[in-house]
Amino acid sequence: MNTHKPKLVVIGNGMAGISTVEQILKLTTQFEITVFGSEPHPNYNRIMLSYVLEGSKTIDDIVLNDWQWYADNGITLHTGTKVVKIDETHKEVVTEEGMRVPYDKVIIATGSNSFILPILGSDKQGVIGFRDIADCNQMLEAAKTYKKAAVIGGGLLGLEAAKGLVQLGMDVTVVHLMEDLMERQLDHQAALMLRAELERQGIKFKMQAQTVELLGGERVSGLRFADDTVLDAEFVVMAVGIKPNVEVAKNSGIEVNRGIVVNDYMQTSMKDVYSVGECNEHRGVCYGLVAPLFEQGMVLAKHICGVDTAPYEGSVVSTKLKISGVDVFSTGEFIDGPEHTVIASKDDWKRTYKKILLKDGIMVGAVLYGDITDSAELQKLIKQKTAMTDELYNTLMGTGCCGSGAKKAATVETMSDDEIVCGCNGVTKGSIIDAVTNQGLTTVDEIKACTGATRSCGGCKPVVEQILQYVLGDGFTTAAKQGICGCTTLSRDEIVAEIKAKGLQTTKEVMHVLGWNEPEGCSKCRPALNYYLGMIYPDTHEDEKESRFVNERMNANIQKDGTYTVVPRMYGGVTTPEDLKKIADVSLKYDVKVVKVTGGQRLDLIGVKKEDLPKVWEELGMPSGYAYAKSLRTVKTCVGSQFCRFGTQDSMSMGALLERKFERIDYPAKFKMAVNGCPRNCAEACTKDIGIVGNDGGWEIFIGGNGGIKARLADSLCKVKTDEELIEVCGAVIQYYRETGNYLERTSEWVERVGLEQIKAVAVDDLNHRRDLVERVEFALKQAEEPWSKMLNDHDSRSKMFHSVEMKG
C-alpha cells in the first residue's frame, strides 16, 4: 500500500499562512506539512503588537499557535529560516543556508515589509518600521533611554505605534503628509474627531508636513521638512505603508507585479505554487488588512484539498481602530461625492458620528466613530449591495420602535454562515454554529478554545455571545456561564463566598473543594485566589509566593535581558541628599545601566543583576517602592503650601502620610494616588486611582482615574474639610475596592462596574458602613509585615530567598 502523503510546504509562518493551514487541517489530513518562518517565534497575531507596545499584553499573550500545536498536528516547523527560492525543476524549496525540501504543493505567505521612505538619513540608528516583534522590542528598548519620538505616517499603523510610545512615557509627534488622519479609511469629520481624542490622550500632530531628511550623526536627532522647519526626535518610526514581500517569487521566476500575481483560486504562474495574504496581488489589488487574507485562505484551503468552492472575487475592506479608548470603523466608500446620498448623524455630547453612503439607493459605504455597534451589520449590508429602506433606516439610525436587544438578535439571525465574525482569526458565523451544535459547546471560552474566536483582541466577543444566544435560546444564560478563568465556571463573588462559607485556607484547597478543571490551576487563577485569601484572612493567610508573578516574587521588575529594576520608596516623591548619595553609590558599585526618574516621582535603578538584588537592597537600606506589586505604587505630590505661592494645603506632608499608611497591603491591581495643594492640579489627580485636590475649605477626593492603557478621567467623589476625614474616606474606598474588585481590575473599570453612586453611598455617606470599612483596612494594615524590614536585618535569609526563586512567569 502506498502510504506516501503529498508534501505541502508553507513559506511564511504568519497569520495568512497558518490560518490557511488550519482550514486545510479541518478538511483533510492528507498532507505532510512543513512550515518555514523567518522569525524565531511560533505563529503570533501581528495586529496585536500595539497592545504589546502599550503593555496590556505580552508576546506570549498574542501567540496564536504555540510550539505544541505544530507537534500535535504533525507539522515540521523551521523558525528563523528564510526561504530564498522555489526550484521548479527539482520541485524543492531552497533556504538561505542551502537546505532543500521537496514539495508537491507550495503556499507562499511571506506577508509584507515596512516601507521605509527613501530620504537622506533613513538608514540612521533609531529609525525603524513597525511590523514585527523585533520592531516592537526596539521600541520598548528605545523608550527606556530616549524621550522624544516621531512617527511618520498618520494611518492605522502609525497611530497604533504613537499610542504605544506615549504609553511608554515618550513625547510623541505624528507627522502626516495629508490634511486628515487615516485618509484612506475616514472622512474629514471622523478624522477631526479622532485627532481631538488622540490629542487628549497625549499624542501631538504635525499635519501636511513632508519629511525630506532625517538629521543627526550616527543616530537620528530630528526631522527636516519641505518648508525647512525642524522637529527634534531621538527615535523615528516609519509607518508610511507596506510593500508585499515578493522576494522568493521573484527569485523563482514567478509572475510579480506590485505583489505576487494570483488568480481567483490563489494560484500563481508556477504550477502547484499558491500565494495568500499581503504578499499577493489579486485582480490588481494588494490587501493590507486581515479579513481579506482569511477569505483568501478559505478559498485556497478548499481548492488545494479538492473541495468545491466559489472563487475569491475580492473583498469589501473595513477598518477598526485598535487604540485604547477610541472606536472607529469604516467600510466601502467613505468620501461623499455628488453621486452619493448621505445619511449622517453627529452627537458632540457623546462624541459619536455615523455616516452611511448610498449610490442609486444602494448602500456602498459607512463611517462610524465612538459607537461601532452597527459595524458588523453595515459591513454585511454593504457587501451584499443592499438597498436602503425605511425599515433599515429606522433600525440603523435609531429611529425605530424596536429596542437594542431585538436589533442585535435580528443582526445575528440575518448574518450569512460564511460571514467572518472574528477578523483577527478568520472565524465565520457558520464555524461557531457548527461548534455549538455538533460539539455541544455552550460558553465563549469553549468557542475560543475550539475556533479561536475572541482569543485575540476580544472585539468580537459580543457577537459570539449573540450567536450563542441565537443558537441556544433560553438555555444560553445558564449554559454560557463563565468563571474567572477556564479552570472554573465560578465567578469572583461565588469563589469569595465559598471561601468564607467553607473556611478554605489555601489555593490548593480552594481548587480541590470547588472542583477546578485543572488541579494546579493556571497563571490567571492562582494569583487571584492568593489575593482573595489574603484579603479575607489578613491575619492567618500565609502568602503563597509560588502563586505570585515573577516580579512580585523577586521584589523587582524583570527586564527583557534578564536583569531587574529596583525602585526604592520615596514618600510623596520627596527624598534626602543622604538617600540620593546611597542610590548613586550603589548604582556605581553594581554597574546599574540607567537611573531613571519615573512618572511617580521616584528613581528607577535599571539593569541590576539577579544575584546582586539582595546586596543592592541591603546597601540602599530603603524600603521597596512596590513598583512590581498589586498594591500602592506611588503618591505623587506637588510642592503645595510649603513652597508654592498658589498652594492652599500641605500636599507633600499629606502625600507622604497617605503613602506610609496604605503601602503595605495587597490590592486587586496596582494603585496610584496624587495629592495637589491647589486646584491647579500639578500632580495630575485626574488620572489617579485616588486623586486629591486641596482648596481653601479642605480637600476634594476623586476616584477611578487612569492615564494608562484604558485612559479615564477620575470622578469627583466628595469634599471633606479635615485631614482626618480625608484619611478615613481614602481608607474606606481602598477597603471597599479590595473587597469588591476583581483581581487585576483597575479602579477605572471598578468604578464603572460598581457605580460611583454605590461607592459614595457605602464609603462616604453611610458613616457606620464607612467606619466598618476603615476598621477592616486598619486591621489588614496591622497584620501586613513589610518583608524588607526583616530582610534588611537578615542577610542570610535574604540571599536564600532570592536564590531559591525560579525564573518563571
Residue 642 shares a structural domain with residue 779: yes
What distances in angstroms separate CA 490 from CA 477, 498, 515, one per listed residue?
14, 10, 10
Nearest of 348, 798, 381, 359 to residue 612 by alpha carbon:
798
Helix axes 375-383, 404-414, angle to 10 degrees: 40
Q: For residues 12 and 36, is the Cβ–Cβ distance under 8 A?
A: yes
| 570 lies in some domain | no
Report the DSSP beta bridge partners of residue 201.
none
Q: Which residue has the higher pLDDT, 248 or 374?
A: 248
Domain boundary among 280, 304, 328: 304
Q: What's the mean pLDDT in 299-314?
A: 94
**Rounded CA separation 333/349 (Å):** 27
Question: Of the given ranges (67-81, 616-630, 745-759), which has the lowest mean pLDDT?
Answer: 616-630
| 802 lies in some domain | no
Helix axes 15-27, 290-304, angle to 10 degrees: 40
How many domains does the structure of the chain reveal? 4
Q: For residues 687 and 661, is the Cβ–Cβ distance under 8 A?
A: no
CB atoms within 10 A of CB 180: 21
Q: What is the pLDDT of residue 408?
A: 47
187 pLDDT higher than 60: yes
| 50 lies in some domain | yes
Domain residues for the domain of 146 are 127-240
Q: What is the pLDDT of residue 281?
A: 95
| 809 lies in some domain | no
Q: Which residue has the higher pLDDT, 586 or 476?
A: 586
Residue 527 shares a structural domain with residue 665: no
Residue 176 shares a structural domain with residue 298: no
Residue 635 shares a structural domain with residue 733: yes
Q: For residues 654 and 662, is the Cβ–Cβ distance under 8 A?
A: no
Nearest of 550, 507, 513, 511 to residue 531 by alpha carbon:
507
Q: For residues 584 and 590, is the Cβ–Cβ distance under 8 A?
A: no
Nearest of 103, 137, 99 to residue 33 by alpha carbon:
103
Question: Of the given ranges (23-37, 160-174, 463-477, 500-514), which has the lowest mean pLDDT?
Answer: 463-477
pTM of the model: 0.57
**Rounded CA separation 322/161 (Å):** 11
| 162 lies in some domain | yes
Nearest of 204, 199, 206 to residue 230 by alpha carbon:
206
Which string of DSSP letters, residue by residue, matches 726-772?
HHHHHHHHHHHHHHHPPTT--HHHHHHHH-HHHHHIIIII-HHHHHH
Q: What value, to the nearest 5°, has the Cα angle with vertex 709 and ends 56 and 242? A: 70
Q: How confident is residue 476, by pLDDT bands cut at 50, 70 and 90?
A: low
Residue 687 maps to which CATH number?
3.30.413.10
Cell numbers at residue 482, please? 463563565
Q: What is the pLDDT of residue 391?
A: 85
Domain boundary among 252, 276, 304: 304
Q: For residues 649 and 694, is the Cβ–Cβ distance under 8 A?
A: yes
Percent of the chain with pLDDT over 70: 91
**Rounded CA separation 61/64 (Å):** 8
Question: Which range has highest mean pLDDT (52-61, 144-153, 446-455)?
Answer: 144-153
Question: Which residues, other chains included, contact 404 with Cβ-Cβ below 8 Å and sequence gap of 6+?
Answer: 373
Q: What's the mean pLDDT in 690-712?
A: 87
Residue 141 maps to which CATH number?
3.50.50.60
**Rounded CA separation 490/520 (Å):** 16
Q: For residues 14 and 36, is the Cβ–Cβ distance under 8 A?
A: no
Residue 688 shares a structural domain with residue 739: yes
pLDDT tens digits for range 142-162: 999 999 999 999 988 899 899
Question: Which residues, other chains included, contact 69 with Cβ-Cβ below 8 Å and sequence gap of 6+?
Answer: 42
pLDDT tens digits for range 385-403: 899 998 888 888 875 444 4
Q: How confident is residue 321, by pLDDT bands cut at 50, 70 and 90?
A: low
| 222 lies in some domain | yes
Domain boundary among 304, 324, 354: 304
Q: How confident is residue 594, by pLDDT bands cut at 50, 70 and 90?
A: confident
Cell numbers at residue 102, please? 521537496
Q: For residues 336 and 357, is the Cβ–Cβ distance under 8 A?
A: yes
Nearest of 190, 124, 135 to residue 157 by alpha carbon:
135
Q: Which residue has the higher pLDDT, 483 or 439?
A: 439
Q: For residues 666 and 535, is the Cβ–Cβ distance under 8 A?
A: yes
Question: Of the given ranges (80-94, 122-136, 638-652), which has the lowest mean pLDDT?
Answer: 638-652
Nearest of 166, 142, 463, 133 to residue 323 by alpha carbon:
166
**Rounded CA separation 718/791 (Å):** 40
Nearest of 532, 504, 542, 545 to residue 785 by alpha carbon:
542
Phi, psi of 308 (to 5 degrees): -60, 135
Phi, psi of 779 (to 5 degrees): -65, -45
User: In 311-400, which ranges are continuous DSSP H helix?
Assistant: 375-383, 390-396
What is the DSSP secondary structure assignment for residue 400, as one 8-state letter?
Answer: S
Q: How confident is residue 234, by pLDDT bands cut at 50, 70 and 90?
A: very high
What distances in angstroms separate CA 603 from CA 141, 574, 682, one per listed residue?
18, 11, 19
Cell numbers at residue 548, please? 505570585
Amino acid letter for position 413: E
Q: What is the pLDDT of residue 430?
A: 85
Residue 250 shares a structural domain with residue 234: no
Nearest of 677, 674, 760 to residue 716 by alpha carbon:
760
Residue 236 shares a structural domain with residue 272: no
Q: By 3-state DSSP, what share of the chain in percent is helix, strand and coil, each rounded to 5?
A: 40, 20, 40
Residue 642 shares a structural domain with residue 776: yes
Q: What's the mean pLDDT in 482-500?
A: 84
Q: What is the pLDDT of residue 407?
A: 47
**Rounded CA separation 75/60 (Å):** 20
What distances in angstroms separate CA 358 from CA 375, 382, 393, 751, one per listed residue?
16, 10, 12, 41
Question: Of the given ranges (212-216, 409-413, 502-506, 710-714), which has the lowest mean pLDDT?
Answer: 409-413
Q: Which residue has the higher pLDDT, 412 or 697?
A: 697
Q: What's the mean pLDDT in 619-640?
A: 84
| 441 lies in some domain | no
Question: Of the given ranges (383-392, 598-607, 716-725, 762-771), which has the lowest mean pLDDT?
Answer: 598-607
Residue 236 shares a structural domain with residue 256: no
Q: What is the pLDDT of residue 441?
A: 80
Q: What is the mean pLDDT of the chain?
A: 85
2 pLDDT higher than 60: no
Helix axes 747-754, 723-740, angle to 10 degrees: 80
Q: For residues 78 and 67, is the Cβ–Cβ distance under 8 A?
A: no
Residue 224 shares a structural domain with residue 279: no
Q: What's the mean pLDDT in 73-91?
A: 96
Strands (E), 176-291: 204-206, 211-216, 220-225, 230-232, 235-238, 242-244, 260-262, 273-275, 280-282
325 pLDDT higher than 70: no
409 pLDDT higher than 70: no
Residue 643 shares a structural domain with residue 780: yes
Residue 142 shares a structural domain with residue 104: no
Q: For residues 191 and 247, is the Cβ–Cβ distance under 8 A?
A: no
CB atoms within 10 A of CB 429: 24
Please name the helix (run of DSSP H) or strand (run of DSSP E) that holds residue 363, with its range, or none.
strand 362-369
378 pLDDT higher than 90: no
Q: For residues 528 and 562, is the Cβ–Cβ distance under 8 A?
A: no
| 746 lies in some domain | yes
